[in-house]
Amino acid sequence: MINKKIEFYSHGACREVTGSKHFIKIGDHIIQMDCGMFQGKREEAYKKNMELNFSPAEVSTILLSHGHFDHCGALPIAVKKGFQGNIYSTPASRDIANIIMLDSAHIQEKDIEYLRKKAKKYPDRGIEVRDPFYNSMDALETLNHFVTLNYHRKFYPIPDVEAEFFDAGHILGAAMICLNIGKNLRIAFSGDLGRKKLPILRDPETLPDLDYLILESTYGNRLHKTFGMAKDDLAEVVNRAYNRGGKIIIPAFTIERTQELIYILHTLLREKRIPDLPVYVDSPMAVNATSIFRVHPECFDKETYDKFISVNLDPFGFNQIKYVSSVRESKKINSKPEPAVIISASGMAEVGRILHHLKNNIENPANIVAIVGFMAEHTLGRRLVEGEKKIKIFGKKYEVNAEVKTLNAFSAHADYNEIKEWLLKNDLKRLKKIFLVHGEADAQHNLRRELLSIGVPEVEIVEYGQNYSL
C-alpha cells in the first residue's frame, strides 16, 4: 500500500449525463478521467463549461475513455486554462476526439460570427456576443497533448500508478480505464459501457478484480431489445418502403450509428435480404468519421474480420453506397425518384442536411422515416417519434404522411440487465464499492437497487464536488 492519501471526486456527470470529469488524487498528483462538455439549457451549460470548479493547471494528466463530445468536448477548455500534462487515449479515440473538437470549434466560431453581425446590424437590441469556449486553433493545440496507446499496453501516467485500457464495446476506440495504485489498490472507470453484439465492435471486456468501480448509469432503469433485432428490423423497414416505391430516411449521429447502419446494410445486401437499392450517406462529417473507422481495423470484432477484412473487403464500401460531401450532390439526391436509403445528420433532426430530406419526403406516404437514436425533448426527431401529424421545417408547415418507425434495438449503452450481466462476469470478491456516475436520478436509484440485489456490498451515487476517500 502506498503511504499517500487517495481520494476520488467528480466535477461533472453527477446525477446527469453530460460533462464527464472524474478525478483520482494521490498525494500531490491528480489524474483526471474524461473532460466532457456539459450540454442542455444554453445559459446553464455556458456557465458550467466556462466556470470550472477546479484548476486544470493542477491536474497532472488526463485519461480519455472515448471520443464522444460529453467526454472529450471540454479538453481544449482545460488546455486553455493551463493544463500542461499528457492526454492518454487509444489511437481511435484520439482521432474521433479530433473531429469532435474541431467540429465544435467551427460551430462556436460560426455562432459568434452570426451574433457579431446581428449585434452590428441592431446595436439597440443589446445582443451579447460572448467569447467562444475555444476556437479551432485551441482544438489543434489540444491534439499536441495526446499520447496514444492501444488496449492492454500498460502505461504509467504518474508515479505509483500503472494504467491500462480495456475495450468498453461502446464506440470505436472506447475504453474502460483500469488503474493499479501501488501494489494493493485497483480502481476502474467504465467510461460508457457498451453492449454485446454491437456491429463492428468487440463485446465489453471483463476487468481484473477491483476494489472500486466508477460506473456509468445512463440506462439504469431501462431495458433494450437485443441488438441482433436491429438487423431484422432494418431489413423489414427497407423492404416495406422499397415494395411501395418509397425512400427510407434515417436521421443518424455521424459517429458510430452511421457506420453501424452502413455495416448492417452492407451485410443485408450481401445476404440478399434487401434489394439492390442506392444507399446515400449525406453528411460531410460522417464521411470523415467513416474514414477513421477504415484506418482502425484493430478495433473491429472477429465477425467483421472474418466477413470483411480477411477477404479484403471494405465494410464501409460497396457498389450501392454513395458518400455525399458537396451541397450540389446532396441536392441531386432529391431529384431521383427511385427507392433509396438516405442516412443523414443531425441525429435528432434539428439542423443539417437531414432537414432538406425530411422536407422533400415527409409528405409522401410511400416513404419511411426510421428513428434509430435517442431523441431529446423539443427536437424535431422527438416530435416525429411522438406522432405529430404536422411539423414545421424552415418555418414552413408539412403534413407527416410518411410512416415514422422507431427501431428500439439501436443503443450503444448497456441497459440495467446488461450492466448486471457484464458485472457478474467479473471477479467481484474484493469489490468494496461501486460509484455511480453519468445517469439521471431515476436511472441511478434503480441501478443502485439492482446492483445491491446481486451482492455488490456498497453503491454510492456520486455527488458533484464531494470527496470520497479510498
131-134: long-range contacts (C-beta < 8 A, 24 or more apart)? 132/105, 132/108, 133/37, 133/49, 133/50, 133/74, 133/76, 133/77, 133/104, 133/108, 134/76, 134/77, 134/80, 134/101, 134/104, 134/105, 134/108
Q: Which is closer to Zn ion, CB of 64 or CB of 213?
A: 64
Give min distance, CB of 82 to Zn ion, in A. 27
Tell how far CA 337 is from the center of its chain.
34
| Cα separation, 47 vs 57, whole angstroms | 20
CB burial of residue 2 (10 Å; 0-12, 13-18, 19+): middle
Q: Which is closer to Zn ion, CB of 103 or CB of 282?
A: 103
Give min distance, CB of 437 to Zn ion, in A. 13
Sign of CA dihedral 217, 222, 226, 229: negative
Q: Which is closer to Zn ion, CB of 64 or CB of 237?
A: 64
Binding flags for Zn ion, 166-205, as an x/- string (CB under 5 A): --------------------------x-------------
Give min distance, CB of 18 to Zn ion, in A. 10
If you count DSSP H runs as helices and E runs as strands, how many of each does the chain have, helices first? 14, 21
Tell how far CA 219 is from the center of its chain.
14
| Cα separation, 404 vs 382, whole angstroms | 11
| Cα separation, 431 vs 340, whole angstroms | 51
Binding flags for Zn ion, 10-49, as an x/- string (CB under 5 A): ----------------------------------------
**Stretch 316-355 residues interacting with Zn ion (CB under 5 A):** none
For Zn ion (CB under 5 A), the number of binding residues is 2
Alpha carbon distances (Å) from 443 to 18, 91, 225, 321 = 14, 32, 18, 39
| Cα separation, 265 vs 279, whole angstroms | 8
Q: Which is closer to Zn ion, CB of 70 or CB of 450?
A: 70
**In which element (H, E) is residue 263 found?**
helix 257-270
Give min distance, CB of 405 to Zn ion, in A. 25
Give min distance, CB of 40 to Zn ion, in A. 16
Give min distance, CB of 254 to Zn ion, in A. 14
**Stretch 252-311 residues interacting with Zn ion (CB under 5 A):** none
Q: Which is closer to Zn ion, CB of 13 or CB of 274?
A: 13
Give min distance, CB of 368 to Zn ion, in A. 28
Q: Which is closer to Zn ion, CB of 161 or CB of 213?
A: 213
Binding flags for Zn ion, 386-425, as an x/- string (CB under 5 A): ----------------------------------------
| Cα separation, 355 vs 249, whole angstroms | 10
Give min distance, CB of 257 to Zn ion, in A. 11
Give min distance, CB of 375 to Zn ion, in A. 17
Q: Which is closer to Zn ion, CB of 68 or CB of 231?
A: 68
Residue type (1 letter), 208:
P
Q: Which is closer to Zn ion, CB of 72 or CB of 187?
A: 72
Give min distance, CB of 373 to Zn ion, in A. 12
Q: Which is closer to Zn ion, CB of 167 or CB of 192?
A: 192
Please choose, from the candidates 325, 331, 381, the residue with its C-alpha nearest in 3D space to the C-alpha of residue 360.
331
Please check whether residue 386 is in contact with residue 378, taking contact to mean a CB–CB distance below 8 angstroms: no
Give min distance, CB of 69 to Zn ion, in A. 9
Q: Which is closer to Zn ion, CB of 19 or CB of 339?
A: 19
| Cα separation, 414 vs 56, whole angstroms | 31
First CA to last CA across the chain, in angstroms?
12
Please check whether residue 94 is in contact with residue 119, taking contact to mean a CB–CB distance below 8 angstroms: no
| Cα separation, 113 vs 124, whole angstroms | 18
How many CB atoms neighbour CB 436 within 10 A? 23
* 155 bridge partner residues: 163
β-pair type (368-371, 403-406): parallel
Q: Which is closer to Zn ion, CB of 68 or CB of 186?
A: 68
Fill in the DSSP letter of residue 31.
E
**Stretch 61-100 residues interacting with Zn ion (CB under 5 A):** 68
C-alpha cell at 299: 478495433
Give min distance, CB of 89 to Zn ion, in A. 13
Q: Which is closer to Zn ion, CB of 92 or CB of 324?
A: 92
3-state secondary structure of 415: strand
Cis peptide before 346 (omega within 30 of 0): yes
Interface residues with Zn ion (CB under 5 A)? Answer: 68, 192
